Structure 1
Amino acid sequence: MDTSPVTCRTLDDFYHIDASTFEKQYKEVLSGYRKWSEYSHADKWLVFPENIGPNLAIDETSLSRGDLYTIVTNRDRHGKAGCLVAFIAGTKAETITAALRRIPEELLDSVAEVTLDLSDSMRKIVRSCFRKASRVIDRFHIQKLACDAVQEMRIKLRWDAMQQTNEEMEEAKQKGITYNPLRYENGDTKKELLARSRYLLFKSADKWTKSQKQRAKILFDEFPDLQKAYGLSHSLRVILSKNTIKDAARVSMAKWYNKVEEAGFHSFNVIAATFYEHYDDILNFYNNRSSNAAAESFNAKTKQFRTALRGIVDEKFFLFRLAKIYAYPQ
């Protein structure tokens, strides 16, 4: 009779599942991926007419290798199941339009409003496919243009300051003396002042810290044109954030436009020309104060999903899983 002690064993001793094998089984068998009705064209276009609604958002995103896709989402679904209307490879207006026209015309004409960015191709897509919809250019893209214009001026001044510093250092070296750069009362040199002012120029003055207020005073005393550009950017932010009516906003925008012309800054003149080209679409923001946040949010979720999967190996399978979450009812 065997009297040796019985050794207790865990479930892992009896069942060992190889992770890569399980992943392969899920993809090929369990998920239903190979029988997916969209399988044959998923990497070119995905369109879900049942998810269309009166308020849409359109944007572009990159999945892998820098390839761009155009996304159309239903803003009223708030990024949940059923929010994905279309996911189409590329950004070319003709390609996107051809895919979206797979949606019945009566559904396309039921769309009342579409939010988008300043892209001309997106504008053309909306105009061609959603003929009865009001186009709304997201105000944050407008504000970003103005902020970028201010930063462009700051960067140019910083490069000039760096060049001046190099020349002064070389001159001191030639004379055999120690180079001591000019320092302002907060301890910054000119190039440090311009480098460290980046973030304060993005913020409203009432949100500056004590040290930022001191740095801003020095900066604007030294570079008055930068102060004028910051003022233009800030006044635009105020116009866009005010809860006002469309006609009042039109007057405020016209006054801002005149200030830009008077200032004569090249970067802001480019913005003014952009405004002129998209004036009505920008002002449509004041109809319902709609933004393209839904598109940006979905874009971020797509990237987070990609990160969770540690990258995309099979792009079509990635789109299958994305559609399972955001295109079909749960």
Structure 2
Amino acid sequence: MDCNAVSIKSLGLYFGVNSDLFSRQYKNKLSDYRAWDQYSHACEYLVFPQNMGKFLSIDETSLSNGELYTILTNKSASGKKGTIIGIFKGVEAYSIISRIREHIPKQLLRQVEEITLDLSPTMNAIAKSCFANAKRVADRFHVQSLTYDAVQQIRIEYRWEAIEQENNEIKHARETDSEYSPEILSNGDSPKQLLARSRYLLFKSPNAWTSSQKERASILFQKYPKIAQAYELAMELKEAYNHRCQKEVDWLKLAHWAEKVRQTGFKSFNTIANTFFNYYDNISNYYTNRSTNAAAESFNAKIKDFRRQFRGVVDVRFFLYRLTKIYA
């Protein structure tokens, strides 16, 4: 959290004054909030053209009650003052494009060399329309996240099957007046427990497994070969991203991976392969500077922490005023 972001409640407690009264005084008298030049439209959009740079990030975040805002940030500011270029209510591409073009000079838009984003078609449309000269770079971690989700989907499907099988065996034992004896694997797990307890190890590389996770993974992969195959695909994608060579060679490794995915016949992985080909340019641009959207994700974390400091967002306009005072 930025050292300048101190809650009014904390100041009130420190100086021994009523925090609610102090908050009202700051809002209405001590600050320039009421005279803020963006006061009238703050809940709809905020734009700070002076913070434009050559390397940007765009992402969405939730401020309160699930309301989404699109945030455009300058990577060069490193999450400090000058980071926020624009905050726009919602994720509707046409509206945001209009705001950016209206309030940021064309020469500044043309100077942008690179913008990182997720795989959202909305973010891609905004970046493509507003920053015509910039390379659009799909965040590698969003791509990898799709593969982890696909692995977990297969695990969950097997777990539901294991639960159903256990229920049927218990029912059969009751109907035949016999004792139910569950299958217990060599590490002490039942199949249902094995599948539940394997969740976290499937997000990690084998060299990061604990000894118990290694044992559990060995049993899991032997009993459920499809999970082993899916996990191997996820790790191969991670290795393809980590591989450092010429851009063309690195992209060729990703293309080979996508083709291998197609041959497995896994529906969820085929969806990922289609995503690769649909976002070919954005994904391959990663290898130019190996840029990610980590800066945007980190700034989202700052916003969440800022929101937590103030115990939620009661007045959105005032919250945005405080946020931009620190980061814009």
TM-score using structure 1 length: 0.93
Report the Cα distance in structure 2 between the residues aligned to 1:244 and 1:74, rounded to whole angstroms: 28
Report the Cα distance in structure 2 between the residues aligned to 1:249 and 1:17, rounded to whole angstroms: 61
- Tell me what 2:86 maps to: 86
- Tell me what 1:48 maps to: 48
Cα pair 2:118 2:293 within 8 Å, conserved? yes
- The structure having more radius of gyration, on CA atoms, is 1
* Equivalent runs, 1:213-224 vs 2, <5 Å: 213-224=214-225
- Tell me what 1:293 maps to: 294
Cα pair 2:62 2:69 within 8 Å, conserved? yes
Report the Cα distance in structure 1 between the residues aligned to 2:252 and 2:314, rounded to whole angstroms: 52
* Equivalent runs, 1:1-330 vs 2, <5 Å: 17-101=17-101, 102-327=103-328
| CA distance 1:16–1:159, change in 2 (3 Å) | closer
CA positional deviation for 1:209: 1.2
CA positional deviation for 1:245: 2.1
* SS, match of residue 69 in structure 1: strand
* SS, match of residue 135 in structure 1: strand
Query: Cα RMSD (Å) of the superposition?
Result: 1.0
Report the Cα distance in structure 2 between the residues aligned to 1:238 and 1:21, rounded to whole angstroms: 56
Q: Equivalent pairs: percent with the same residue?
A: 51
CA positional deviation for 1:16: 7.2
Q: Which runs of 5+ in 2 are unaligned?
A: 1-14
- Over 2 Å off, 4+ runs: 15-19
- Tell me what 1:4 maps to: none
TM-score using structure 2 length: 0.94
Report the Cα distance in structure 1 between the residues aligned to 2:209 and 2:16, rounded to whole angstroms: 59
The code of the aligned residue for 1:98 comes to: S
Deviations 1:260-285 (A, max 9, x none): 11110000000011111001110100
Report the Cα distance in structure 2 between the residues aligned to 1:286 and 1:107, rounded to whole angstroms: 25
Q: Which runs of 5+ in 1 are unaligned?
A: 1-14
- Tell me what 1:5 maps to: none
Report the Cα distance in structure 1 between the residues aligned to 2:19 and 2:55, rounded to whole angstroms: 42
Report the Cα distance in structure 2 between the residues aligned to 1:207 and 1:22, rounded to whole angstroms: 50
* SS, match of residue 233 in structure 1: helix
* SS, match of residue 108 in structure 1: helix
